[in-house]
């Protein structure tokens, strides 16, 4: 009869166990040259089943109970994890242990660094945590290196996964640097303002000491193309020179000069007699902006094997971002160039506002202080 | 990085973090105090259940190749997965039985439990293969017949399910056989008759407590479907009074209460059941109706749990996720594909309901067709489903 009673329990609940998900661990790894820095989150409930954490038998796990078991947790976990790179085992150095909450409860967070004998090209990870106790356990891995991210799920059926670091990296690197380039132009207000400042008068023409609206779009377009081309050629030049390490300027100087360039561009709008050839100004200051781009690019960390490709991708990204701004702005400016308010409001007041903002930047950067509180 | 860029980045990060509040796991932290409790276990180690499990584990450890000890422990784990609503216990049962599953001809008890575990993971076809293998070796295994009938019922293969009930007449107690058939009859157009049979069975003294719970839940659900609210309420309350803990019953009763607009009662019933997704879902629906502040937190928790479940590559909670998306997120366009995916796997009244509701809300009446066909062919008696079917037909005219 026991037989049948059990059957009834089965029938009654055709539903899956409706709870928090089954057991998972979360591992995130960052690979850099021969080193893997990692963080491994393992559920306290799972560790309790494996090695017993609730030492005072009160049905609750306190931080004190976890802390006294740190060594045991580490030896249990890391005896079930193996990194292998080019046929050699990587040595794991165990770091700090912390705590975190996931959707199904508290986790022990194990930080570690694995050092492989040589720069990692192929990495094999052998994961055997908890499978002997919980056949539905899974290890959810997120692996990243400089150019891309990969994910994998370890389970009893597939406890070993291999990764190639360079795999698909060319296209992924191109995409990464393209995107960074576009974002840099959009988020870097100073480049944006410089470009806008130069473009505002492009729909006007100087006649007899007066600004007049350009008679047709082609003239405005020619002016814009000359400015953008000059700016592009100039910043590409210094960006490349700086990236290949041929010239180097201190970043405070570069950042200050960029702010100064915006100030001067604004002043040139107010006093057009200073220069009629704005493309020349775009070129001159473009050289400075190129150094600014180079600083961002070096912050991103450049892969040594595809330096040129990354540089080109980043630069193309910058140009795409720049072009998007021009395409958005020029027709708008062209449409309202005739209106009575364009000159006083957009050209003059706009330039004055830009000058003020850029002066503040200049002061900040020269004096290394902050005027705008976050 | 200059200041304005920093402001932009910080604003973006702030927005991003706010939008993720309570959803993503936070930053790892170093608890300040040794006394800080990080986790509460399902059982206190001195709890009788924990003791029993420990004894069974010790027993198995002494003799790891003893099939009966393994089956005993695995069975207990499967029962716990149901009473606690925690799928971790299923993984443990699976780990215990793995050695036998790897044999070329696994013994029937191990196969039977594998079928049960597969059933819990909604791998119905694969579970049926295991059950047929058990039955080819032991044609008189009542448990295998009953499990088979229940899976076939969920798949809406009612004729096959009835055929699977038949052998029970010979191999087990009469009330189990009748309950097996009544379960099917209750959905397929003979609600009144099956209700009568079930009530008769409940009057019978030989029916054990777990069987009684099974039969009364069935009876309560049939009453709820046929609109006999009073009888349903009475049955549900009576079972709850026995103190038996089970997630399925709580879910079914909460659904009944939600349909009657008794949101406060749902809150009283489920206030402490936030660990089980299916129950938290019903609690949040009641909170939404009552505009309680805890609603936001619970929706965020559910969203995070469904996301975590997808991350591990499993989707056994599609019915719940569809309902969550439709009712709590009010997003019929995304709920409908989930309801359709769910309908491919399971076809119970609740599955038809979420499909019809999503199709109606999404204005996609063609998507409701499979559920409408199922209703018509099987003469399903369910006043909610009939009402929804009428709405679909009116709107598509």
Mutate to test the interface with A, among B88, B98, B101, B321 (most CBs of A within 10 A): B88
What is the domain range of residue B55? 48-138
Asked if A18's CB is within 8 angstroms of B320's CB, the reply is: yes
For range A35-55, the mean pLDDT: 92
Same domain, B231 and B255: no
- Average per-residue pLDDT in chain B? 88
Q: Is residue B18 part of a domain?
A: no
For B261, the token pair is: 């607009």
Task: Name the pairing type of β-strands A24-32 and A138-144.
Answer: parallel
Asked whether residue B149 is domain-assigned, the answer is no
Q: What is the ipTM of this complex?
A: 0.76
Range with the lowest mean pLDDT among A178-182, B304-308, B313-317? B313-317
Residue B42 inside a domain? The answer is: no
Q: What is the pLDDT of residues A253-284, one digit of tens each?
A: 888 899 999 999 899 888 887 777 888 889 99
| Residue B228 pLDDT class (50, 70, 90 cuts) | very high
Which tokens sit at B23? 């959803």
How does residue B234 score in pLDDT terms, banded at 50, 70 and 90? very high
Dihedral angle of Cα B230, B232, B233, B234, to the nearest 10 degrees: 80
* CA end-to-end span of chain B: 63
- Asked if residue B148 belongs to a domain, the reply is no
Cβ distance of A57 and B27 shorter than 8 Å: no
Q: How far is B178 from chain A (nearest CA, A)?
A: 13
Q: Tell me if A63 and B38 make a contact (CB, 8 A cut-off).
A: yes
> Which of A8, A14, A61 lies nearest to residue B210, judging by beta carbons?
A8
Residue B282 lies in a domain: yes
| Predicted local confidence at residue A310, as pLDDT | 79
Is the domain of B333 the same as that of B288?
no
The answer to whether A3 contacts B142, with C-beta atoms less than 8 Å apart, is yes
- Indicate whether B292 and B218 sit together in one domain: no
Q: Determine contact: A364 vs chain B, CB below 8 A.
A: yes
Task: Tell me the average pLDDT across A307-316.
Answer: 83
Burial of B101 (0-12, 13-18, 19+ CB in 10 A): middle
pTM recorded for the entire structure: 0.66
What confidence category does residue A113 fall into, taking pLDDT thresholds of 50, 70 and 90? very high
CB B276 within 8 A of CB B244: no
Domain closes at, from B260, B287, B312: B312
Residues B184, B127 share a domain: no
* Structure confidence at residue B248 (pLDDT): 85
B-chain residues near A23 (CB < 8 A): 88, 91
Across A6-15, A30-39, B22-31, B380-389, least confident range: A6-15
CB–CB of B147 and A11 under 8 A? yes
pLDDT of residue A16: 45
Q: Decide if A14 touches B, using CB distance below 8 A.
A: yes
d(CA A293, CA A291): 5
Interchain pair B277, A109: CB under 8 A: no
Portion 196-225 of A in contact with B at CB < 8 A: none
All structural domains of chain A with their residue ranges: 20-167, 170-367
Strand partners, A107: A43, A100
Compute φ and ψ for A30, nearest 5 degrees: -120, 120
Final residue of a domain: which of B280, B295, B312?
Answer: B312
The pLDDT score that the predictor gives to residue B26 is 62
Cβ within 8 Å, pair B2-A364: yes
Three-state DSSP state, A100: strand
| CATH code, domain with B363 | 1.25.40
- Of residues A152 and B284, more confidently modeled: B284
Structural domains counted in chain B: 4
pLDDT digits 0-9 by tens, B123-133 = 999 999 999 99
Q: Which positions in chain B touch A131 (Cβ < 8 Å)?
A: 95
Among residues B254, B289, B312, the one where a domain terminates is B312
Q: Do A106 and B277 touch (CB under 8 A)?
A: no
Answer whether A92 touches B (CB < 8 Å): no
Q: Which residue has the higher pLDDT, B208 or B2?
A: B208
A5 vs B: CB within 8 A: yes
């Amino acid at each position: 009869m026991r037989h049948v009673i059990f059957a009834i329990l089965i029938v009654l609940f055709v539903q899956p166990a409706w709870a928090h998900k089954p057991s998972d661990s979360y591992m995130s790894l960052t690979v850099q040259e021969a080193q893997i820095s990692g963080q491994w989150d393992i559920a306290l409930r799972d560790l309790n089943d494996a090695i017993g954490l609730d030492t005072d038998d009160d049905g609750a796990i306190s931080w004190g109970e976890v802390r006294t078991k740190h060594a045991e947790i580490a030896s249990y976990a890391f005896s079930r994890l193996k990194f292998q790179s080019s046929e050699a085992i990587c040595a794991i150095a165990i770091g700090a242990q912390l705590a975190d909450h996931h959707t199904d409860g508290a986790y022990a967070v194990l930080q570690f660094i694995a050092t492989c004998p040589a720069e990692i090209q192929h990495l094999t990870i052998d994961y055997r945590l908890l499978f002997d106790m919980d056949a539905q356990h899974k290890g959810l891995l997120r692996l990243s290196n400089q150019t891309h991210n990969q994910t994998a799920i370890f389970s009893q059926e597939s406890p070993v996964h291999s990764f190639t670091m360079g795999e698909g990296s060319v296209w992924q690197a191109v995409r990464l640097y393209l995107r960074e380039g576009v974002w840099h132009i959009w988020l870097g207000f100073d480049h944006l303002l410089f470009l806008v400042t130069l473009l505002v008068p492009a729909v006007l023409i100087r006649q007899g000491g007066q600004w007049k609206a350009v008679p047709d779009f082609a003239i405005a377009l020619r002016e814009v193309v000359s400015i953008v081309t000059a700016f592009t050629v100039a910043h590409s030049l210094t960006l490349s020179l700086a990236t290949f390490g041929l010239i180097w300027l201190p970043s405070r100087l570069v950042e200050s000069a960029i702010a100064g360039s915006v100030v001067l561009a604004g002043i040139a709008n107010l006093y057009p007699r200073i220069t009629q050839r704005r493309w020349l100004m775009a070129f001159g200051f473009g050289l400075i902006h190129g150094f600014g781009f180079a600083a961002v690019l070096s912050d991103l960390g450049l892969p040594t094997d595809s330096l040129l490709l990354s540089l080109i991708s980043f630069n193309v990204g910058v140009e795409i971002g720049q072009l998007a701004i021009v395409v958005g702005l020029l027709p708008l400016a062209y449409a309202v160039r005739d209106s009575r308010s364009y000159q006083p409001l957009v050209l003059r007041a706009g330039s004055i506002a830009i000058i003020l903002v850029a002066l503040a930047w200049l002061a900040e950067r020269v004096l290394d202080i902050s005027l705008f509180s976050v | 990085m200059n200041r304005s860029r920093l402001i932009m980045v910080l604003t973006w990060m702030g927005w991003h973090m706010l939008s993720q509040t309570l959803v993503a796991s936070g930053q790892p932290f170093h608890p300040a105090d040794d006394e800080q409790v990080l986790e509460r276990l399902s059982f206190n180690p001195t709890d009788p259940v924990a003791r029993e499990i420990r004894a069974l584990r010790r027993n198995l450890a002494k003799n790891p190749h003893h099939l009966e000890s393994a089956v005993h422990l695995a069975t207990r784990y499967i029962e716990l997965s149901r009473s606690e609503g925690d799928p971790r216990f299923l993984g443990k049962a699976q780990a215990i039985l793995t050695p036998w599953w790897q044999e070329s001809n696994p013994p029937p008890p191990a196969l039977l439990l594998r079928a049960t575990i597969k059933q819990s993971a909604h791998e119905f076809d694969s579970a049926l293969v295991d059950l047929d293998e058990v039955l080819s070796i032991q044609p008189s295994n009542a448990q295998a017949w009953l499990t088979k009938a229940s899976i076939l019922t969920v798949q809406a293969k009612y004729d096959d399910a009835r055929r699977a009930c038949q052998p029970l007449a010979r191999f087990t107690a009469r009330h189990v056989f009748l309950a097996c058939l009544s379960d099917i009859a209750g959905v397929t157009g003979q609600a009144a008759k099956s209700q009568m049979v079930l009530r008769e069975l409940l009057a019978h003294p030989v029916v054990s407590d777990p069987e009684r719970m099974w039969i009364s839940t069935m009876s309560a659900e049939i009453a709820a479907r046929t609109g006999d609210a009073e009888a349903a309420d009475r049955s549900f309350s009576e079972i709850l009074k026995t103190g038996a803990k089970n997630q399925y019953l709580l879910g079914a009763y909460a659904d009944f209460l939600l349909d009657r607009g008794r949101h406060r009662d749902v809150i009283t019933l489920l206030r402490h059941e936030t660990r089980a997704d299916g129950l938290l879902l019903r609690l949040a629906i009641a909170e939404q109706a009552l505009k309680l502040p805890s609603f936001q937190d619970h929706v965020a928790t559910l969203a995070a749990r469904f996301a975590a479940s997808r991350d591990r590559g499993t989707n056994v909670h599609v019915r719940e996720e569809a309902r969550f998306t439709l009712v709590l997120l009010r997003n019929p366009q995304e709920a409908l594909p989930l309801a359709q995916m769910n309908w491919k796997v399971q076809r119970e009244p609740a599955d038809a309901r979420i499909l019809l509701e999503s199709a109606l809300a999404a204005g996609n009446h063609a998507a409701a067709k499979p559920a409408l066909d199922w209703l018509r062919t099987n003469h399903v008696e369910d006043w909610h489903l009939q009402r929804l079917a009428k709405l679909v037909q009116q709107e598509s005219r």
